[in-house]
């Protein structure tokens, strides 16, 4: 198997995906939308649209939390899977959905200004009050 192939699924297995190529570091998003939808905060990598194959897409509900982006989750088991910005040709994929060993690594925190008030962030990773233009898609 290509070492840069990654696979994953929702909790019930109705939705499966596989990606090709390197994946960006995992970014933790503490914004209000991610907090509410995930129940805590979101941890996600991303991949170019052309490098991901999704099976069981019929089971995905896409919720448009804003005019810019929609959030994909499994209609059957509720697993949060994807975040898709309409103007970008990439999709964020939730880190927890990947099969182990994921090969993923933690990168930074964003929207820490909006984080919940019941936990602290003390892992030493960079923290951004809002988003950051350092968020890119892995190239190779």
Tell me if 112 contacts Zn ion by CB under 5 A: no
Return the range that interacts with Zn ion (CB under 5 A); candidates 19-27, 69-77, 94-102, 128-136. 69-77
Tell me if 26 contacts Zn ion by CB under 5 A: no
Distance, in Å, from the CA atom of 100 to the CA atom of 24, rounded to the nearest integer, reads 16
Tell me if 137 contacts Zn ion by CB under 5 A: no
Report, in Å, the least distance between residue 80 CB and Zn ion: 10
Tell me if 48 contacts Zn ion by CB under 5 A: no
Report, in Å, the least distance between residue 77 CB and Zn ion: 3
Among 12, 108, 135, 138, binds Zn ion (CB under 5 A): 12
* H helical segments located in 1-140: 32-38
Distance, in Å, from the CA atom of 71 to the CA atom of 51, rounded to the nearest integer, reads 19
Q: How many residues are present in the chain?
A: 140
Distance, in Å, from the CA atom of 110 to the CA atom of 33, rounded to the nearest integer, reads 13
């Amino acid at each position: 198997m290509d070492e840069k192939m990654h696979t994953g699924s929702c909790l019930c297995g109705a939705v499966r995906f596989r990606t090709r190529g390197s994946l960006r570091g995992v970014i933790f998003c503490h914004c209000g939308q991610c907090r509410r939808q995930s129940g805590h905060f979101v941890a996600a990598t991303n991949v170019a649209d052309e490098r991901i194959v999704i099976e069981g897409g019929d089971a995905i509900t896409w919720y448009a939390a804003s005019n810019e982006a929609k959030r994909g989750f499994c209609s059957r088991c509720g697993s949060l899977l994807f975040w898709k910005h309409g103007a970008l040709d990439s999709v964020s994929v939730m880190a927890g959905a990947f099969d182990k060993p994921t090969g993923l690594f933690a990168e930074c925190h964003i929207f820490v200004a909006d984080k919940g008030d019941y936990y602290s962030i003390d892992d030493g990773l960079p923290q951004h009050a809002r988003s950051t233009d350092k968020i890119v898609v892995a190239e190779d």
